[in-house]
Amino acid sequence: MYSKSFATKTILMGDDLSSIDQFKELVSNVLKKDKKETLKTVTESNLCGRGGAGFPTGMKWNLCSQQKVEKKYVVCNADEGDSGAYSDRYLLEEQPLKVIFGMLVCAYIIGSDEGVLYIRGEYPKSIEIINGAINELKKANLLGKNILGTNFSCDMTICIGQGAYICGEESALIASIEGRRAEVDVRPPFPVVEGLYKKPTVVNNVETLAAIPCILKFGAKTFSSVGNAKSAGTKLVCLDSLFKKPGVYEIDMGTPMKKIINEIGEGFVQPVKALQVGGPLGGVIPIKEVEKLNLDFQEFTKAGFMLGHGSVVSIPESFSMVKYIHHLFKFSSDESCGKCFPGRLGSYRGKEMFDQALNKSNKIPIKLLNELLVTMKKGCLCALCGAIPVPISNILKYFTHEFKDDINQSA
Amino acid sequence: MSKNISKLSGRKGLKDNLFKRMVDATSKSKNGKEIRQLAEEYHVGMSTIHGAESFYEFLRPEHKEKKAWICNGSACMCAGTQGKIRKKLSEKLGEDNIGMMFCLGHCYETNAFHYNGHNYAGNDIDQIDEIIKGKKINSKKNVFQKFCDKNYTYGR
Ligand SMILES: Cc1cc2nc3c(=O)[nH]c(=O)nc-3n(C[C@H](O)[C@H](O)[C@H](O)COP(=O)(O)O)c2cc1C
Ligand code: FES
């Protein structure tokens, strides 16, 4: 995997935490410091969750730390299912100690003694590497009972995902670890109050946790001074195989997308008409539109797209958008958890419309399709089936010309 | 209902995790018996375990019957690599033995497939005979892989 940092100050990709000795030094610094001070640094860094929802990490940890319950959990969400994304895989395999360190600091601050990494089964190498790292850290008394002779104990384990995309959604992920069907739960209560086994739980994405060591090492300001308050620090961006220079890159928030596409990715190997940024639920953005944007969560949302986890999939000029929408509906109908009605049924009805358009047995009933998209957007329980209308609506808006022969205007 | 199951599962917690036990139970040959034992041990009905187990793609018999899986993700689809991989794998392993998996995290080189516990991508398909024979290609190991003992529970 090709990886390179273009960040002003590298946070995620550097070798600041690549040996057990470095881990020991950083952990002993944290254990010597007041917990409140460490939490303040995390909060002031303006680090926001990298798993998609973008919740402020310091605030999440603080809410959990305030729960007056003895047993709490830390969960690392390593179920990276978005196609186009392999940044969590990079971190799990190339920076495993940063991820585990982030979990350990979180456990220390919130008062937890157990953590679990939920790693998708499609990533066998990540599982092996994290498992090996946990074993080594245990041997060095950096995990387990009385870490470095203090009264702080923390154990870690791994759960291996079994091929369900929805397990990336935090309430489904918790249900899965508990051995239940991975169905999305209604919130509140949020996991920080009632999470794994109904105990207060912090669920954080791999990339969020991996940023912690260097935020603590270099100080909050180093991170918060990049980008803006809501989109601060650096972000991993994955470019797919249709870029001339595909790979995972660490990039300052706020960097123009034009630079990412043309300078970092060096443009495309064949004509590309649009990018899908942020996984299957992210926006499909025509090249002309994407070049107006900067790497910024709010900017993407404002323009009707979603930066999400930062993956970029290129849609070639020659690829039919009717087929692409079919692919998206098929994905949500295969992966819907089945709990909410508009998600379970709506995804399938959408897939059916495009099955028929592709085999030319029926034209797309455009009014019905638009109603379906509104119903799914408004009525679904979570962002799997609730956000899939975003890329589909984008395609219908920007690529109307590709549908003109396949649409029934009166149905 | 689920609150009750969460709490029952939580009695054993992460140390004797129900999800892992369920995954193990479905891979044992005497499936029915294992699941009954599990239900009794965790004080839940058989249907609770069956209901959960049937949710997961990898635990279904149709999935387990396959020998190789082609990446079904958007990047592999747009790069147009799935057809070639399917053809080659079908020639070697039989058309009915090929399944699909969603994005294997090799979107920078696409041509991705999963075989016998490992992911392959890029030009790896050209070495399919060696891969089937069990020869390790991509053998560069990360330092921590040495310490992996395949038992993911508290290093036991
Ligand atoms: C359908 C769906 C899929 C998701 N998949 C992931 C995922 O693969 N990894 C992840 O970290 N978060 C994923 N999330 C977001 C999680 O629910 C949750 O917000 C996140 O793990 C919290 O961590 P963070 O605050 O560090 O971002 C997903 C959300 C939804 C609705
Ligand atoms: S889409 Fe095939 S490896 Fe990601």
* pLDDT given at position A229: 87
The string of pLDDT tens digits covering residues A185-216 is 999 999 999 999 999 999 999 999 999 999 99
Q: Closest approach of chain A CAs to the CA of B8, in angstroms? A: 8
> Among A275, A299, A316, which residue terminates a domain?
A316
Q: How confident is the model at residue B149 (pLDDT cuts 50, 70, 90)?
A: low
Q: How confident is the model at residue B137 (pLDDT cuts 50, 70, 90)?
A: confident
In a shared domain, residues A131 and A191: yes
**Could you tell me which residues come within 8 angstroms of residue A248 by beta carbon, excluding any fewer than 6 positions away?**
A1, A2, A3, A86, A87, A90, A236, A237, A238, A239, B108
Reported in sequence order, the residue ranges of A228-369 that DSSP labels E, i.e. its strands, are 234-239, 247-252, 272-277, 284-286, 311-316, 364-365
Q: Which atom of ligand 2 has the smallest separation from the CA of A85?
A: 4
Q: In whole angstroms, how large is the CA radius of gyration of chain A? A: 22
Closest chain B residue to A90 measured between Cα atoms? Answer: B105
In a shared domain, residues A13 and A133: yes
Rounded CA separation B112/B106 (Å): 6
Structure tokens at B112: 């991705």
A40: CATH: 3.40.50.11540
The string of pLDDT tens digits covering residues B93-122 is 999 999 999 999 999 999 999 999 999 999
In a shared domain, residues A204 and A343: no
A367: CATH: 1.20.1440.230
In a shared domain, residues A348 and A395: yes
Give me ligand 2 centre to Cα A362, in Å. 31
Structure tokens at B7: 């709490």
- Is the CB of A341 inside 8 Å of chain B's CB atoms? no
Question: Does the distance separating the beta carbons of A176 and B152 come in below 8 Å?
Answer: no
Question: Does the distance separating the beta carbons of A185 and B148 come in below 8 Å?
Answer: no
The string of pLDDT tens digits covering residues A57-75 is 999 999 999 999 999 999 9
**Could you tell me which residues come within 8 angstroms of residue A4 by beta carbon, excluding any fewer than 6 positions away?**
A13, A247, A249, A250
Reported in sequence order, the residue ranges of A133-266 that DSSP labels E, i.e. its strands, are 155-160, 201-205, 234-239, 247-252
In a shared domain, residues A328 and A312: no
Q: How confident is the model at residue B151 (pLDDT cuts 50, 70, 90)?
A: low
Domain that holds residue A265: 234-316
Residues from chain B that touch A116, judged by Cβ atoms under 8 A, are 14
Could you tell me which residue, A349 or B142, shows the higher pLDDT? A349
In a shared domain, residues A210 and A293: no
In a shared domain, residues A130 and A187: yes
Tell me, what's the ipTM? 0.95
As a whole number, mean pLDDT of residues A121-150 equals 96
Residues from chain B that touch A107, judged by Cβ atoms under 8 A, are none
| Class of CATH domain B66-144 | alpha beta
In a shared domain, residues A215 and A361: no
When divided into structural domains, chain A yields a total of: 3
* Torsion from C-alpha of B13, B16, B20, B25, nearest 10 degrees: -130
Rounded CA separation B79/B101 (Å): 16
β-partners of residue A365 are: A408
Question: Does the distance separating the beta carbons of A198 and B7 come in below 8 Å?
Answer: yes
Q: Is the pLDDT of residue A48 over 90?
A: yes
Rounded CA separation A335/A315 (Å): 22
Answer for the pair B75, B110: CB distance below 8 angstroms, yes or no.
yes
Ligand 1: residue of A74, A77, A126 to mutate (most ligand atoms within 8 A of CB) is A77
Answer for the pair A184, A166: CB distance below 8 angstroms, yes or no.
yes
Pocket around ligand 2: residues whose beta carbon is below 6 Å from it? A 83; B 71, 73-76, 103-107, 110, 112
Q: How confident is the model at residue A224 (pLDDT cuts 50, 70, 90)?
A: very high
The string of pLDDT tens digits covering residues B8-66 is 999 999 999 999 999 998 877 666 788 899 999 999 999 999 999 999 999 999 999 99
Query: Phi and psi dihedrals of A154, rounded to 5?
Result: -155, 125
Q: Is the pLDDT of residue B1 over 60?
A: no
- Is the CB of A96 inside 8 Å of chain B's CB atoms? yes
Q: Which atom of ligand 2 has the smallest separation from the CA of B103?
A: 4
Percent of chain B at pLDDT > 90 equals 74
Q: Across chain A, what does the average pLDDT equal? A: 96
Is there a domain that residue A96 lies in?
A: yes
Task: Assign 3-class secondary structure to B63-118.
Answer: HHCCCEEEECCHHHHHHCCHHHHHHHHHHHHCHHHEEEECCCCCCCCCCCEEECCE
In this complex, which of A131, A162, A196 lies closest to B152 when CB atoms are compared? A131
Pocket around ligand 1: residues whose beta carbon is below 6 Å from it? A 49-53, 55, 77, 79-81, 166, 168-170, 203-205, 208, 382-384
Residues of chain B with CATH 3.40.30.10: 66-144
Question: Does the distance separating the beta carbons of A82 and B103 come in below 8 Å?
Answer: yes
Ligand 2: residue of A80, A83, A248, A276 to mutate (most ligand atoms within 8 A of CB) is A83
Min mean pLDDT across A99-113, A328-342, B24-38 is at B24-38
As a whole number, mean pLDDT of residues A120-149 equals 96
Give me ligand 1 centre to Cα A382, in Å. 11
Ligand 2: residue of B110, B119, B120 to mutate (most ligand atoms within 8 A of CB) is B110
Bridging pattern class, strands A234-239 and A114-119 = unpaired
* pLDDT given at position B106: 96
* pLDDT given at position B138: 73
Q: Which helix (H) or strand (E) holds B26?
A: helix B18-27
In this complex, which of B10, B13, B102 lies closest to A83 when CB atoms are compared? B102
A268: CATH: 3.10.20.600
In a shared domain, residues A273 and A404: no
**Could you tell me which residues come within 8 angstroms of residue A353 by beta carbon, excluding any fewer than 6 positions away?**
A329, A362, A364, A365, A368, A369
Q: Which residue intervals of A264-320 are DSSP H helices?
A: 287-290, 297-302
As a whole number, mean pLDDT of residues A82-110 equals 97
In a shared domain, residues A155 and A10: yes
Is the previous residue joined to A256 through a cis bond, with omega within 30 degrees of 0? no
- Residues A8, A52, A108, A127, CA torsion sign: negative
Classify A49 as helix, strand or coil: coil
* pLDDT given at position B3: 79
In a shared domain, residues A332 and A217: no
Is there a domain that residue A229 lies in?
A: no
* pLDDT given at position A91: 97
> Among A200, A224, A248, which residue terminates a domain?
A224
Q: Is the pLDDT of residue B143 over 80?
A: no
> Among A316, A338, A366, which residue terminates a domain?
A316
Q: Which residue intervals of A10-157 are DSSP H helices?
A: 20-32, 35-44, 57-65, 87-94, 96-110, 124-139
